[in-house]
Amino acid sequence: MSTEIDAYRILQIDPRAETFVLDAAYRALARRYHPDGAAPDIDRMSEINRAYALIRTPNERRRYDSERLTSVGPGHTAAASPIVVPPSRFDASSRNGMPSGETPSDGSSVLDFGRYSGWSLKALARQDPDYLRWLMRHSSGIRYRGEIAKVLPKETQPEDRAKAAR
């Protein structure tokens, strides 16, 4: 196997991304660059397929990652040019993946799914209230609806906006 290409860069994902993110990135790029896609590019599609083949299963990904860490490319060693992984938005020492400085002891529930997995509802209300509004309407947020209504600022709750529009 060759580590001359950076599969993560080609697929436009973070090396720590979950498998479902990897699959989604591949499908999105394939839809775009496939010969029948929105912006057909056979060379780009071949490159995407090669990159995906290197990391599509957990075993292949582990093998690729271990080779990637020991060799950056022809004539380069890991000591000569280290691979720099950007820091995560989460502090590894934090509890349940909460953003640095946040604690689940703020009294609100902690999400256990999705892109904000590990975030408390109060922290999320400050960070991305639009996501909470969406979650309130979505079936996966049924168990959080009452609490979301309490943590969202009053002026942004859907009922208030509907009344103001009348």
CATH number at residue 17: 1.10.287.110
Higher pLDDT, 83 or 13: 13
Q: Show the domain range for 55.
A: 7-70
> If you search the block for the tokens 């799914």, which residue do you land on?
113
Question: What does the pLDDT average to over 109-130?
Answer: 83
Asked whether the beta carbons of 147 and 109 are under 8 A apart, the reply is: yes
Specify if 27 maps to a domain.
Answer: yes
Q: Are residues 104 and 148 both part of a single domain?
A: yes
Query: And the tokens for 157?
Result: 């709750």
Of the pLDDT bands very low, low, confident and very high (cuts 50, 70, 90), residue 155 is low
Answer whether 22's CB lies under 8 Å from 7's CB: no
What pLDDT, in 10s, does the model give residues 42-64? 999 999 999 999 999 999 999 99
Phi-psi region of 12 (alpha: psi -120 to 50; beta: other; left: phi over 0): left
CA angle centred on 95, ends 93 and 99, rounded to 5°: 80
82: nearest Cα among 100, 70, 96: 70
- State whether 50 and 103 are in the same domain: no
Above 80 in pLDDT, residue 136?
yes
Domain for residue 81, yes or no?
A: no
The total number of structural domains that make up the chain? 2
Task: Verify that 66 and 116 share a domain, yes or no.
Answer: no
Residue 32 CA to residue 138 CA, distance in Å, equals: 28
- Residue for token pair 């004539």: 75
How many angstroms from the chain centroid is the CA of residue 2?
A: 26
pLDDT of residue 101: 44
What are 76-107's pLDDT values in tens digits? 444 433 444 444 444 333 334 444 444 455 66
CA distance linking residue 57 with residue 18, whole number of Å: 11
Pair 74, 41: CB distance under 8 Å: no
Q: Is residue 38 within 8 Å of 28, Cβ to Cβ?
A: no
Q: Which residue has the higher pLDDT, 154 or 18?
A: 18
Average pLDDT of the chain?
A: 76
**142: confidence class by pLDDT, cuts 50, 70, 90:** confident
Confidence of residue 24 (pLDDT cuts 50, 70, 90): very high
* pLDDT for the residue 126: 85
